[in-house]
Amino acid sequence: MDSTLLYFIDIFGTAVFAISGVLLAGRLKMDPFGVIVLGSVTAIGGGTIRDMALGATPVFWITNTAYIWIIIITCLLTILIVRHPRRLPWFVLPVFDAIGLGAFVGIGVEKSLLFQDSYLIAVIMGVITGCGGGIIRDVLAREVPMVLRSEVYATACIIGGSIHVGALYLDYSNRVAFISGALATLIIRLGAIKWHLSLPTFALHR
């Protein structure tokens, strides 16, 4: 896939994930520093874990500080524009999160394949890129991470990442594979939100 297009998609996903972090921070009534911290870890947490696992050091936001500036500007603008996050429709936060999720899973798969050849590892790195920041965000917000609940979240990432690498295996172009995987992740996640789909839970009965 064209590196310039991939970069702009990455910037877009960074901004979207930062917004989802800011909205959660607003609902929890955090101070401005807390807002920026939550927005930052949501936006770059998963990519940081991915790069460290792949040995891609220094991680992407250290070599390109544009990511940091995008996060700071996005957080400040969101604070100024969204003064009453509790009055936003309930679906705003999960929809923004779903958009970023689709983009980041695709980016994680693509970057992983630059460092190694395993499609399995590429899917895992896609899931980490998509879910890692949200896990850190939820832990800092003292909530059970969404990926550990019964919601269709990590599952959407796995399916989207699998479609992405499947398309590559069938010799489709990187662009087609990326779009197919990202759209699959987004559609599955949005469908789960709309129809309240969830996975069966595991419970031990005493």
Tens-digit pLDDT profile for residues 100-147: 899 999 999 999 999 999 999 999 999 999 999 999 999 999 988 888
pLDDT of the residue at 86:
61
Q: What is the dihedral of CA 148, 151, 157, 163, to 10 degrees?
A: 140
CB-neighbour burial class of residue 183 (10 A; exposed 0-12, middle 13-18, buried 19+) = middle
What CA–CA distance (Å, rounded) separates 59 from 50? Answer: 9
Structure token digits, residue 166 = 């499947």
pLDDT of the residue at 81:
85
**3-class secondary-structure state, position 198:** strand
- pLDDT bin (cut points 50, 70, 90) of residue 27 is confident
Residue 183 has pLDDT above 90, yes or no: yes
Catalogue the long-range contacts made by 172-181 (C-beta closer than 8 Å, 24 or more residues apart). Answer: 173/1, 174/1, 174/110, 175/1, 175/2, 175/5, 177/1, 178/1, 178/6, 178/106, 178/109, 178/110, 179/106, 181/105, 181/106, 181/109, 181/126
pLDDT of the residue at 61:
96
Residue 85 has pLDDT above 60, yes or no: no
User: What digits encode the pLDDT tens for the residues 144-182?
Assistant: 888 887 789 999 999 999 999 999 999 999 999 999 999
Residue 63 has pLDDT above 90, yes or no: yes
